[in-house]
């Protein structure tokens, strides 16, 4: 990489760090190309991105962002995962790390809050934004459904009573 390519890489990473909701730092100890490709695919499916970046360039890109605190994790063979959804990148990285012992979760950050490995794992256990939205819609919809059932119940009972009287008179 020449100097201009390095400057472009730092600028791109800096732009990413200014837009995302969470950054997870991982250590990949001898992952094969197939494993790395599988991880990237799972990240994309979850709405996250995964990139191996030089630690020095990543530290430069962290300047003037909320994620300055994770520079201490950038030592050795590291890679960065990030997503707009505060849970997606952490969830995808932790799920992949469960099935692959060559990927280690080092730490991360959610805005200015720096997370250690346990923090990233607990973040991964939380529901995603889409799951939370679904639960909220269900909670909002449930009372309306119950009200409709309560309102319709007396009418159904009256209809059954009238039907019984009609059947009795016909007999």
159 and 89, same structural domain?
Answer: no
User: How many domains does the chain fold into?
Assistant: 2
- What is the mean pLDDT of the segment spanning 30-34? 89
* Percent of residues, the chain, with pLDDT higher than 90: 38
pLDDT given for residue 125 in this prediction: 85
Q: How far is CA 102 from the centre of its chain?
A: 22
CATH number, domain at 71?
3.30.70.1730
161 and 118, same structural domain?
Answer: no
Exposed e or buried b per residue across 34-58, where buried means at least 16 C-beta atoms within 10 angstroms of its C-beta: ebbeebbebbeebbbbbeebeeebb
- Nearest Cα to Cα of residue 27 among 70, 72, 80: 80
Asked whether the predicted pLDDT for residue 157 surpasses 90, the reply is no
Asked whether the predicted pLDDT for residue 151 surpasses 70, the reply is no
Q: How confident is the model at residue 136 (pLDDT cuts 50, 70, 90)?
A: confident
79 and 160, same structural domain?
Answer: no
Q: How confident is the model at residue 56 (pLDDT cuts 50, 70, 90)?
A: very high
**Tens-place pLDDT, residues 12-25:** 999 999 999 899 99
The pTM assigned to this predicted structure is: 0.72
pLDDT given for residue 81 in this prediction: 93
Asked whether the predicted pLDDT for residue 154 surpasses 80, the reply is no
Give strand pairing partners of 26: 79, 105
Domain of 34 in residue numbering reads as: 3-126
């Amino acid at each position: 990489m020449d100097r201009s390519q390095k400057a472009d890489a730092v600028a791109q990473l800096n732009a990413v760090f200014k837009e995302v909701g969470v950054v997870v730092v991982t250590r990949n100890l001898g992952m094969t190309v197939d494993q790395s490709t599988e991880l990237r695919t799972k990240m994309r499916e979850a709405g996250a991105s995964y990139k191996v970046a030089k630690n020095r360039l990543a530290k430069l890109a962290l300047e003037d962002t909320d994620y300055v605190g994770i520079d201490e994790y950038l030592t050795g063979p590291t890679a960065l995962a990030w997503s707009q959804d505060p849970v997606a990148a952490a969830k995808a990285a932790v799920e992949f790390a469960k099935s692959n012992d060559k990927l280690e979760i080092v730490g991360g950050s959610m805005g200015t809050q720096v997370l250690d490995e346990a923090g990233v794992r607990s973040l991964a256990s939380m529901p995603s934004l889409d799951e939370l939205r679904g639960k909220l819609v269900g909670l909002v919809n449930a009372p309306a459904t119950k009200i409709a059932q309560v309102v319709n119940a007396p009418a159904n009972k009256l209809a059954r009573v009238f039907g019984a009287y009609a059947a009795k008179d016909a007999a």
